[in-house]
Structure 1
Amino acid sequence: MTCEIVNVGKRRDGGSRYWCLSHHANATAKYGVAAEECVAAHDEPISETESLDLEVNRYVGGIALWGSVPASYDTTTLPTDRGIHVHARRLGRDSAKDIDKTYRRLRIPFTTDLLSSEWFVVDEIDAINYMVSGVFGFGTISVKCSHCGFPHLDRDWFAVHPHKKHQCHGCGRQFSDSEIAIGNPLSQLRSHLEPGNRSQIAAPRSIEIRQQDYPGGIQIWGSNPAILWTSTAPEETGIHLHALSEEGQEWPKIDDTYESVVIDGIELDAEQVRYYMAQTALPHIEGRVVALSCPRCKEPHFDKGQWAYTPHIDHECHFCGAIFQNPLQIKKTISNPFVETRARLSKHTNRILREDKLGLRPETI
């Protein structure tokens, strides 16, 4: 699509702000003038094969949707995951999955009438930011622009900081909502499609493996709250593990969620894995997530709460109370011991540890 760039008001420095109505993206160049193209002009479009029309009533065994990002630890050569991961069963909850795949876009009808035009569009960026908000304990609400009615998404920094004033991604103009919150269009799905209140349990299984026994590599994710969960079974939490017995294996030999995972004698912490997964999806903190240990008591330091998504200079040890800083050049950091765990795991395999990026632009509006 050709950019359609319009003036949407003034910046604080007196320059103008410009917005592309075609790609719903920033089009302000340096010094507050209109850019020739918006920042999304060359984004890869979503193809038909990357999209799915998901008719919920056809999968009585249950549907689950998650925001999908690259694995927190990955030594496979499989394609990078990004988008909305779908589990769907036509039969009972213990039957094989009819759909187990990641898509960049879904269309979901709100009614059981197959001829209905009431389709809800689930976008990959909506799903990823829903995951980020959920991991750090933030609920989301439905917010619509008061000017044009476009569903509003708070992404990146805004996905973890509730606020009242927003800038619309549809028309580019600023508006204020009635409450201080985080907007995400996907917040509507649960109220429309889930049969009742879901329950969560720790995955009732444990596993201990050696990487050398899986020549195709392994992948690790932290569990996160599903965007949609229609099964009557409780949602399991823990660490999701893939282990491939051969190179490029389409269906992993191990594909399950576990409460306890030990790999090459190293026990994983599910909360650290989950936080790391969400942290790598936030462009504004890229390069600032490190593994720090208290210089006084030598205990690994794990930043939680607001410090898990806010780079900061001073870190307070949770064991002895000492205040310390990152000794390296970057002073504002976030500490997650899983950074060190990844490095330790990689020493037990001759496979390459992947460093896949989501490729998301930092939010600038």
Structure 2
Amino acid sequence: MATPLTLPGICWPLHASTGHLAVTTSHITGHFRAGAGEDAIIVCDLLPAGKFRNGAARHWCRTHQCYWGTQADLAGCPSAQPMQCRQHASPMGYVLYPTLFDPSQFHATTLRLGQDGLIRLRARAADGGALFSRDLPALAIDCRALPGLFPRDVVQLNVTPAAAQAFAAALQAGAPLDCSDCARCGHPHLDLGDFALAPHRRHSCGHCGHDASHSAAPIVSTPLWRLRHHITQCF
């Protein structure tokens, strides 16, 4: 396979119960066939994440949102090869060179999920009121314009189709929404899929893999919930 490319982009697993939206880099590394799609092969981003119950060391893959370190993982990874999680060859959704939205430059901002699955961004420019209108598969929000909302190492909040769909579904279902931060790294937790419809107290971190953070009450957690103070209408 050709050498992977590192480019500005957003990526997301096509099937996952957690996600990683508040990212510390605006770049992704992988193999891409186009500027956007659901067929990218993205390089694993593995980091130590404590131990399994049997005491074996485990790692967390931020890219594919899964743990590494089982006997099967070890058997499938010769010492001469870099570690790869079990989902390393799974196609992922992606957008290269995504729109980077600076909310401090606009007012009356709305984000909606269209029936076609696109994220509809509408905003009025602060310097004259010109309309900013985009229909996007995914969107990056510049966190430098939102000080104090997320940890300092977060550079942007990636609004992915999976996150937007989960948020919209939770709102429609009337689920109790909030944003739970990881007790270890402070990054916000994202619930996806069935977890976005089933309020719960224990949350696993998509950034560091810590799996023992608890909210005060059962909630569906998403960092998009925090945008409601900065965006007039958010889904």
Same fold (TM over 0.5): yes
Shift of the alpha carbon at 1:146? 0.5
After superposition, give the CA deviation of every residue in 1:277-330 in whole Å (9 maximum; x if it has no partner). xxxxxxxxxxxxxxxxxxxxxxxxxxxxxxxxxxxxxxxxxxxxxxxxxxxxxx
Task: Give 1:56's aligned residue.
Answer: 103
Shift of the alpha carbon at 1:164? 0.6
From 150, 154, 158, the equivalent of 1:122 is: 158
Q: Write the distance in 1 (CA, Å) between the matches of 2:88 and 2:133.
A: 31
Q: Write the distance in 1 (CA, Å) between the matches of 2:49 and 2:55.
A: 11
Aligned in 2, Cα 1:184/1:148: closer, same or farther, shift over 3 Å?
A: same
Task: Give 1:47's aligned residue.
Answer: 96
- Secondary structure at the residue paired with 2:95? coil
After superposition, give the CA deviation of every residue in 1:113-139 in whole Å (9 maximum; x if it has no partner). xxxx98651321332211111111124
1:164 and 2:212 are equivalent in the alignment: no
Q: Write the distance in 1 (CA, Å) between the matches of 2:177 and 2:132.
A: 30
Matches within 5 A, 1:1-365: 1=29, 2-3=43-44, 4=46, 6=48, 8-10=50-52, 18-23=58-63, 25-28=65-68, 33-34=72-73, 36-39=84-87, 42-48=91-97, 51-60=98-107, 62-68=108-114, 71=116, 81-82=117-118, 84-90=119-125, 97-108=131-142, 109-110=145-146, 120-124=156-160, 125-175=162-212, 176-191=214-229, 193-194=230-231, 226-227=233-234
> Does structure 2 conserve the Cα–Cα contact (< 8 Å) formed by 1:6 and 1:21?
no
Task: Give 1:271's aligned residue.
Answer: none
Q: Write the distance in 2 (CA, Å) between the matches of 1:150 and 1:118.
A: 8
Higher RCO (CA-CA < 8 Å; seq separation 6+):
2
> Does structure 1 conserve the Cα–Cα contact (< 8 Å) formed by 2:61 and 2:68?
no
- Secondary structure at the residue paired with 1:130? helix
More strand by share: 2
Unaligned runs of 5+ in 1: 72-80, 112-116, 199-225, 229-365
Task: Give 2:20's aligned residue.
Answer: none
Shift of the alpha carbon at 1:110? 2.3
After TM superposition, which residue ranges in structure 1, 4 or more long, deviate above 4 angstroms?
Answer: 5-8, 14-19, 117-120
Q: Which has the larger radius of gyration?
A: 1
- Counting aligned pairs with the same residue, the percent is 18
After superposition, give the CA deviation of every residue in 1:55-103 in whole Å (9 maximum; x if it has no partner). 334434x2210245x54xxxxxxxxx34x32122348xxx984313114
> Does structure 2 conserve the Cα–Cα contact (< 8 Å) formed by 1:20 and 1:38?
no
- Secondary structure at the residue paired with 2:99? strand
TM-score by length of 2: 0.59
> Does structure 2 conserve the Cα–Cα contact (< 8 Å) formed by 1:141 and 1:184?
yes
> Does structure 1 conserve the Cα–Cα contact (< 8 Å) formed by 2:47 and 2:59?
yes
> What letter matches 1:105 in structure 2?
L
- Secondary structure at the residue paired with 2:216? strand
Q: Write the distance in 2 (CA, Å) between the matches of 1:143 and 1:37.
A: 26
Shift of the alpha carbon at 1:107? 1.4
Aligned in 2, Cα 1:6/1:167: closer, same or farther, shift over 3 Å?
A: same
